[in-house]
Structure formats: structure tokens, C-alpha cells
């Protein structure tokens, strides 16, 4: 795990100059991964919470936190129990701060400028099995992450004045057949969609689902196309990606 920590150039990740201190990240993660007791875990946690992954005084989260999620999950799995608890607390803070951050976006393999809350949530879901067995705190973290749904379009066909999009839904759609506002990401741009309706929900644990998207042409949904909740990106409604 130490190699994985050192493999990241933390100083290359963006963050506000006065608060993001990348030198804290590798030192803090290494200290947390090798902590053998409560005091060491707490010291490592302070490094990471005071300008490493988050800045707890200002309630900010940095893109480094998204990169660090798999490392924190590995600490939950393999580290000292006190280090695991600290890692879970950091994940919880990061997601809570991110949910109130309307402007920070991060590049991911599936879209170029994902709201930081959704990018974090997606990586947290990657540790679902582990978190399910990590007590109430793990369960709470997963439940919070599931509110940041993601829909990957695999195929789209015309229907009425819009389209049906078939694909995979991760996370939890808000309330059955309710119509929600979404943000549609395709390479080079993100556009707001006023209405997305869950036409067929996932069944039996499979992510396959279908959305009805009034007013959207199927051509505009050719893969790779990914949808996120619009409420996670209020500042960017209508904005084009750089
Ligand atoms: Zn989100």
C-alpha cells in the first residue's frame, strides 16, 4: 500500500493554494497505513484533515480525497482498527463537505468534469462489500453515497418527443418514478436536462435500467454519455466544459 501512496504525485492535483497542502497527504496516508494504535492513527488523521484531503476548519474537500478513496478503503480493510475508524471518519467528512461544494469538479475515467461529491460517492460505492461489513458507520457512508446516482448510457432510441436511454444505474434513484433534473456529460461538454424519468428500475441486483428523457434526441446520447443529479452541480447548469 505504501507504494500505491507514493505512486501518486499529490502536488500535481489541484486545490486552493492557501489550504491544500499536498505534502501532508503522502506523509499522513503512510502514517495512517502503518499506525499501530490510537494515538498514531489520530495524529495521521489530523494531518489529513487539516489540509491534506480535507480542511476541516473551512469545511472544504480537495480532489486529492477522490484519489485517496481506494487507499483509505485499503486502510479500513488491512490497517489497525483505530486507523480504519480514522479512515472511515475521513471518508465521511469528505463526502459531507463535497455535498455542499457546488463548484469543484474532477476528471474521472468516465467523464471529464464530475461534481466532486459524485466522483467521491462513485469510489465509495467501489468498496460496498467492505463498507457493508464495517458496522453502522460503513452502512451510513454507503447510504449517503447512494444519493449521488450515476447512469451510464449504453443505447438510446427515439420515443415520442424524446428518447429512451438504456444503461446501468449506480446508486439510488430519488423516489420511484419521479422526474428529476440531471446533467448529461459527453466528451467535451455537459448539458442540463430538465427531466429524467426512471422508466424501468434496476431489478434483482442488476444495474440495468431505462430512463425516459423528454426533449433529448437519441444522437445526443451516443456513448460515452453519463448522467448525474443536477442538484449536485447547480453552478454549472448550462455551462460548457473547458
Ligand atoms: Zn453528487
User: In the predicted model, is pLDDT for residue 234 greater than 80?
Assistant: no
- The CA 118 to ligand 1 mean position distance, Å, reads 4
User: In the predicted model, is pLDDT for residue 240 greater than 50?
Assistant: no
- The CA 189 to ligand 1 mean position distance, Å, reads 18
- Give the burial class of 70: count Cβ atoms within 10 A of its Cβ; 0-12 exposed, 13-18 middle, 19 or more buried: middle
Q: Same domain, yes or no, for 15 and 77? A: yes
Average pLDDT for the chain: 94
Report the pLDDT value the prediction gives residue 143, as an integer from 0 to 100.
96
Q: Same domain, yes or no, for 40 and 138? A: yes
- The CA 112 to ligand 1 mean position distance, Å, reads 15
Q: Same domain, yes or no, for 226 and 116? A: no
Domain total in the chain = 2
Q: Same domain, yes or no, for 8 and 109? A: yes
- The CA 193 to ligand 1 mean position distance, Å, reads 16
- The CA 80 to ligand 1 mean position distance, Å, reads 30
| Per-residue model confidence as pLDDT tens digits over 147-188 | 999 999 999 999 999 999 999 999 999 976 679 999 999 999
What is the pLDDT averaged over residues 113-129? 97
Q: Grade residue 83 by pLDDT with cuts at 50, 70 and 90.
A: very high
- The CA 182 to ligand 1 mean position distance, Å, reads 11
- The CA 65 to ligand 1 mean position distance, Å, reads 14
User: In the predicted model, is pLDDT for residue 239 greater than 60?
Assistant: no
Report the pLDDT value the prediction gives residue 217, as an integer from 0 to 100.
95
Report the pLDDT value the prediction gives residue 173, as an integer from 0 to 100.
93
- Whether 241 is covered by a domain: the verdict is no
- The CA 36 to ligand 1 mean position distance, Å, reads 34
Q: Same domain, yes or no, for 21 and 107? A: yes
Which of 140-146's residues contact partners 24+ apart within 8 Å by CB, and which partners? 140/92, 141/88, 141/91, 141/92, 141/95, 144/92, 144/95, 144/96, 144/99, 145/95, 145/120, 145/121, 145/171, 146/121, 146/171, 146/172
User: In the predicted model, is pLDDT for residue 238 greater than 50?
Assistant: no
Rounded Cα distance between 49 and 57, Å, is: 9
- Whether 242 is covered by a domain: the verdict is no
Q: Grade residue 235 by pLDDT with cuts at 50, 70 and 90.
A: low
Report the pLDDT value the prediction gives residue 177, as an integer from 0 to 100.
66
Residues in the 5 Å CB sphere of ion ligand 1 = 115, 117-118, 148, 232
Domain end point (choices 96, 116, 146): 146
- The CA 108 to ligand 1 mean position distance, Å, reads 14
Q: Same domain, yes or no, for 141 and 164? A: no
170 contacts 149 by C-beta, under 8 angstroms: yes
Domain that holds residue 210: 150-236
Report the pLDDT value the prediction gives residue 57, as an integer from 0 to 100.
96
Residue from 36, 112, 25, 39 nearest 71 by CA: 25
pTM: 0.93
- The CA 233 to ligand 1 mean position distance, Å, reads 7
- The CA 3 to ligand 1 mean position distance, Å, reads 30
Q: Same domain, yes or no, for 163 and 109? A: no
User: In the predicted model, is pLDDT for residue 28 greater than 70?
Assistant: yes
Q: Same domain, yes or no, for 98 and 184? A: no
Domain end point (choices 122, 146, 170): 146
- The CA 5 to ligand 1 mean position distance, Å, reads 26
Domain end point (choices 90, 125, 146): 146
Q: Same domain, yes or no, for 63 and 114? A: yes
Q: Same domain, yes or no, for 59 and 87? A: yes
Report the pLDDT value the prediction gives residue 221, as an integer from 0 to 100.
96
Amino acid at each position: 500500500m505504501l507504494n500505491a501512496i507514493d505512486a501518486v504525485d499529490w502536488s500535481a492535483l489541484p486545490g486552493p493554494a492557501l489550504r491544500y497542502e499536498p505534502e501532508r497527504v503522502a506523509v499522513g496516508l503512510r502514517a495512517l497505513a502503518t499506525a499501530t494504535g490510537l494515538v498514531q492513527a489520530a495524529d495521521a488523521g489530523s494531518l489529513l484533515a487539516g489540509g491534506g484531503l480535507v480542511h476541516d476548519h473551512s469545511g472544504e474537500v480537495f480532489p486529492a480525497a477522490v484519489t485517496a478513496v481506494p487507499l483509505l478503503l485499503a486502510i479500513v480493510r488491512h490497517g489497525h482498527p483505530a486507523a480504519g475508524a480514522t479512515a472511515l471518519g475521513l471518508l465521511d467528512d469528505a463526502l459531507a463537505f463535497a455535498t455542499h461544494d457546488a463548484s469543484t469538479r474532477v476528471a474521472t475515467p468516465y467523464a471529464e468534469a464530475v461534481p466532486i461529491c459524485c466522483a467521491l460517492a462513485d469510489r465509495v460505492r467501489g468498496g460496498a462489500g467492505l463498507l457493508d461489513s464495517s458496522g453502522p458507520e460503513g452502512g451510513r457512508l454507503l447510504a449517503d453515497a447512494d444519493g449521488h446516482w450515476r447512469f451510464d448510457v449504453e443505447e438510446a432510441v427515439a420515443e415520442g418527443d424524446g428518447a429512451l436511454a438504456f444503461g446501468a444505474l449506480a446508486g439510488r434513484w430519488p423516489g420511484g418514478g419521479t422526474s428529476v433534473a440531471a446533467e448529461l456529460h459527453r466528451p467535451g461538454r455537459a448539458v442540463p436536462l430538465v427531466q429524467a424519468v426512471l422508466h424501468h428500475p434496476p431489478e434483482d441486483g442488476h444495474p440495468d435500467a431505462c430512463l425516459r428523457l423528454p426533449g433529448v434526441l437519441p444522437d445526443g446520447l451516443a456513448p460515452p454519455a453519463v448522467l448525474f443529479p443536477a442538484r449536485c452541480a447547480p453552478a454549472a447548469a448550462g455551462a460548457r466544459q473547458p
